[in-house]
Structure 1
């Protein structure tokens, strides 16, 4: 293989010159492996340049910064690619990933060339060019031409650090790379960020559209690795899998292999669900006639008589801008208190009885900002409604009923994703996680937690303290769970669902029951705590003694082969909870035994157990 000639610059005396490093062939290559996370095989290595001992530039960033100052950055890129290709040809590294800026690649028009013996000057078979500096592509046509020749010689293209460059998505569509490397930002702490998991899912859809393989780079922890695996990413790179070293890597570290071999799935972080997203005040718009600002009371009265469903009317100036809002209720009140109201005021301007400072809302205002109206000290807006405008001009009216309905609907929808009291996942993510567990095919435990005698406590002490007890329950449940393997969801009220893969799940639940029962007792007044409960009316109005609130947990050991849907699992867990509450026990376990009857292992908070036959678990 011939070596790219390095142009002779003006003589440089500095022995640490980048030019001198290139001319004297003193640059070194390190190799960082890339792995197939499904097969655990090395698919290739990324070539990373290093400087020799004693060099003034101790890392690649400093080296390339110096090359830019010396005006030889593009030459340095070429030398690094040639050096990597030469060494890789002798080492059998699999795919060879090399970094090139878009401009350096576009300018490399003399490759691939051939030697007099017919051998390629720069062997490109198995080379994957990682395109960097996406935002500074100056000549896309030239870049496509060079890429076509390189691909014909066996090379492939990867977009590096996708998500960091400003034009990456355009380049993805234009260049159709074989690989896209997801920027480290989206990989770092992905197990804690629902936004990042959502972004990666979106990238997977793009990859499917363009026929591209995704590579997650920057994997540094087992938690990140497992979430990426469970999201379906099959290619990875990072310090956890293998650091850049002078010699190639041949296998995954043992601890990483063991983690990937685990059949348990990781609990994915919840994606944020924002209420009202995309909704504006335009959704509240009701077309309604208006009157000029000089309209008389008689004009307003006649308008109300013609439109029986109209509760308010806006008064407008000559530019169609609101100057007042008058309500039907105002007319009715004035007429009731003054039988001569029409005779006295009929010809006089109606604005004298109008609200001259009505609430005016631009139709493009986000709906969440209007929720402030519901809690505003000025409650006139709830009675008379508000005026909707566009660029200050009248468009129609909005009513408090519409606003309350829209906000309620949005909050109900949001609660299906995350309970507003505890911020734990709601019904939608609970169902999604059960489906993931069933699809995984490995046994797991489904638990349904509910409180005994909670309604009486809530009625006796008020909803504020009742909410405090529910938050206590949430803390007790989440506190005993392994956040990576055990999912905790809040169905609503005092109902919680746990989906557990921890091997010591029973000990964890027993600890939650004991902790809750102990701490919940402290929420009662001293006299009630000493008496062991409170006297209060039951739901039938009969006054009787109610014990202190305690926790019951129904448990089902789930074999995915016996359950066709998430609903079936939820029904089985709810049945177990029902038996636990009926039997006044802390924990009740329904074990699925195929066609025969299910059996129950009844355990109290102390952990003692007995076996008894119960109804079959729902299939």
Structure 2
């Protein structure tokens, strides 16, 4: 039995795996070569020659899976062998410029009864997930922490399902949260390997062709079946490299892309590609794929949740989405600004002009704040409740947005007082104030992103409220600026 196979589900491998499964335990050692693929393969080949328990090495381009066998039903011996193998091979591969990911798992033992194809594929999923968790733990131990998107990747890869029926975007609306494990092959893999994969796994709809973890093509099950079903399909393509028949222009998106934007891109494709899976990358490296069904279900879920939590008065996102947006910004590497908006003397207005007029003033304030935020910048506006609003935007845009909001508010609020003289303005206790009408108080809080000190949503809320209190102590529409952990450092008005 040779120890090297061109791809994953080689016919000889499946026969050998089934035989060894009946007489002992089989483990899988997964290696992902981030760089230096040729040098990495040479190191693996030399190491494999020294391993008597290793009976197969499946070369998948940027990935490799090595199978080891221990007679008997005691998993402890196999676990010890896998740990030792991961350590020794990992030590040798550290010489590469880009250290690889390594993971291992038990994939088969006597009496389990699963098909060899399923054992190998699910084993790779588990081993890869373990490799990612190990890498993240090492990063956290070194003080690097794990970003939310990286954690989402590990969670997606840890699924035992080869292709989820359902998928949502928990905690956000980025396509990376929908990344599911997808079979990956190198461009020299044979068409026959993909055909066998699809034949034995009804839930797998497509396979990615990649070089050094960078996707270069896609093969969908239905299209491959159509190709092979032609009059000369089997004879022409069965033993050809998959690069000859792959779609060289699949839809590839970065993990940070919004789900709705990706949905639009997917629906804009020609009809023949309309239901092809979408490949998801991070820094141009493949992290998974999403089916059209998963994307559409996610959008439905997001819109339903947005409608459920939105303010019925303004239609703006409520407290749940506000917190999610703050947490997303806190996890990010960029600094950002938070604007907390409140109407001074709103109770006086509501009591004197009526609840309906008060609702209209709140809607006017929402429109003012929305118009003051920079267009197409990813700025977020939420309605906390009553006359309180919160905006989250890029740090550099904060002061300009505050000035524009005050300008627009002062220019338009007079229309809500009606004709005739303005009644005496009073505070909440009914005491006369030395000011006329409603004013807009803004607190502008600068928050650093990705630094050693990461604020919490609660801390941001407390400090923004303290700044707002300073703004409300001033006459007229005004903003007061500060930063998390620092003191107030400026204020402005028109």
Rg larger for: 1
Fold agreement, TM-score > 0.5: no
TM-score where L is the length of structure 1: 0.35
Instruction: Tell me which of the two structures has the higher relative contact order, counting C-alpha pairs closer than 8 angstroms and 6 or more residues apart.
Output: 2
